[in-house]
Copies of this chain bind each other. A is one copy, B any other.
Amino acid sequence: MESVVATEGFAKTPEPPYYAVIFTSQRTEVDNNGYDAMAQAMLALALERPGCLGAESTRNGDGLGITVAYFVDEGSIRAWQQNARHLVAQRLGKERWYSHYELRVAKVERAYSGPEGR
């Protein structure tokens, strides 16, 4: 597989330290079109934030998803969490789209890529 393909979907993050927001969520079965449109819009909006380093996101056929967004510091995360359009999305997420979620903010201390030597 060519490297241009292999790294699609991965965030190109700098050397640690930086921050990760780990969002694990279970989708309800309602409003897939509305959800998909909002999820794409929010990902694009997050990536435009000056402190956002990138994001990785995936969801399986049972609706269990994990999105990890990377930020330079805590202040950038708090600003994103208070963004007006993001607040609207968060409210709809709580009301309609997620049956459960866990949100964790973590400081990345070390990181590795692979596989080496292929």
Contact = CB atoms under 8 A, between A and B. Distances in A.
Given A24-B68, A58-B60, A59-B60, A105 B111 contact: yes
A111 B115 contact: no
A109 B105 contact: yes
Interface residues of A, number: 51
Given A1-B28, A28-B1, A58-B64, A115 B94 contact: yes
Contacts of A107: 106-107, 109
Task: Please report whether the interface of chain A is mostly helix, strand, loop or mixed according to DSSP.
Answer: strand
Contact of A10 (B1, B28, B100, B105): B100
A59 to B, nearest CB: 6
A108 B21 CA distance: 9
Interface string A83-118: 000000000011100111111111111111111111
B108 A103 contact: no
Contacts of A118: 94-95, 99
Contacts of A65: 58
A69 B103 CA distance: 14
